[in-house]
Amino acid sequence: MKSLLIHVSKDSLSTALQAVSKAISANSSSRVLSGILIQAQTEGLIITASNIRMTIEYKLPVKRDLVVVHNTGEIVVPARYFYEIIRKLDPGLIRLKIAESLMLNIQSGNTQFRLCGMDAAEFPRIQYIDHPNIQRISMNNTLLKQIFKRVVFAVSSSETRPVLTGVSLQIDRRNIRVVATDGIRLAQHVVESVEDYGAIPLDVVIPGSTLEDLLKILNDDSGSSTELEIGPKQIRFISNGLRVQSALLEGTYPSVNNLIPKAYLSEVIVKTERLLHVVERISILAGESVMLSVLPSHMLSLVSKTAEIGDVKEEIPLEYLEGDHFRAAFNGKYFRDILRAIDSETLRIRFAGKERPLVILPVDASSSTLFLITPVRTHD
């Protein structure tokens, strides 16, 4: 099909390009994967990008004055140039036409670009296969984003243990559990008593990078929902015109239950936002760690120093204290990331011993979120 001819509004096309751009492979050795697939079909325009690990497809249905398909066809064009061209064009309708073999004509008003394309047959597509092992789950967008935002920051950035670069998703009939850890910090969120998701238990590991991209492009409308199609090796997220397909990570996610202290020596409650602001200030001069101390004066002290630069100290009042006073050092950035993931007004910090991880919990009774952070060893 080489006779592609469509008219599409700049706003509509820009929305599609922004969504699929998350899957563009900037440094791919494959020329076709550095491009964007443009497909004009009777039902509308489909824009697709892929980096093999993940493929994102965005469909713009035919709509008067927004998307008009005159002739069907398909072509792959260099993503970087196509994106920049569309971004710089004036508002209004854009005409896309294959004027000759593998040459895309882009016209807006008196502006005309001709962009060399590639054969679309070589481009990977999202496959829609009915398989007996595929499970389909529909989830409200607000819930889906809330679940994964609370844990995805804790995935590992190291490929030493690839399974830890993903988020563990476990679903049974009425519960959802997500976990992420890099070996130093851990984030877990459980949603209980939700709608019946079916009798077959589900236990997969989704790449953290896929979820980070999905959270950026998924519609925030509380009335929108996303269908998850989960197969033995792949997962697909489908929401309106957006389709995201990703490979699942292989391997067994480690059990984290034994990492969570069952008893603790001390517990404090502190205002979340105030502690976050303190940690952000303290981190300006943070070296390897931030020292956190519970003082007899019913204050929480945070201290950080960097050799040859300086030091900083700040104290905030505790809302509640139970047990002994304690002190422990932690990675300031990791501690800050945990605090940013908490939406409760106050939080609990539980101390189980100097060699044990610190447990951080939102005080909000309706929350089933738990965070761990392993202390940093110090010489004092």
Could you say which DSSP state residue 375 is in? P
pLDDT tens digits, one per residue of 312-365 = 999 999 999 999 899 999 999 999 999 999 989 999 999 999 889 999 999 986
Longest dimension (CA), the chain: 80
Q: What is the pTM of this model?
A: 0.90
pLDDT for residue 1 is more than 50:
no
Q: What is the pLDDT of residues 50-96, one digit of tens each?
A: 988 899 999 999 998 899 999 999 999 999 999 999 999 999 999 99
Residue with tokens 């997969």, as numbered in its chain = 204
Q: Give the pLDDT band of residue 198 (cuts 50, 70, 90).
A: low
Tell me the fold of 260-373: DNA Polymerase III; Chain A, domain 2 (3.10.150)
Question: What's at 285, amino acid-wise?
Answer: L
Q: Who has greater pLDDT, 27 or 256?
A: 256
**241-296 pLDDT, tens per residue?**
999 999 999 999 999 988 999 999 999 999 999 999 999 998 888 766 899 999 98
Q: CA–CA separation, 93 vs 13, rounded Å?
A: 10
Give start-end residues of each CATH 3.10.150.10 domain in the chain.
5-122, 135-247, 260-373
Separation CA 22–CA 210 (nearest Å): 9
- Count, residues in the chain: 380
For 5-122, CATH gives 3.10.150.10
Cα 186 from chain centroid (whole Å): 16
Give the separation between CA 209 and CA 283, rounded to whole angstroms: 25
Q: Tell me if the domain spanning 135-247 has CATH number 3.10.150.10.
A: yes
- What CA–CA distance (Å, rounded) separates 285 from 309? 8
What is the dihedral angle through the alpha carbons of 298, 275, 182, 187, rounded to the nearest 10 degrees?
90
Ranking 43-52, 105-114, 149-158, 192-201 by mean pLDDT, the lowest is 192-201
The full 3-state SS of 184-203, as one line of letters, equals CEEEEEEECCCCCCCCCCEE
pLDDT at 129 > cutoff 60: no
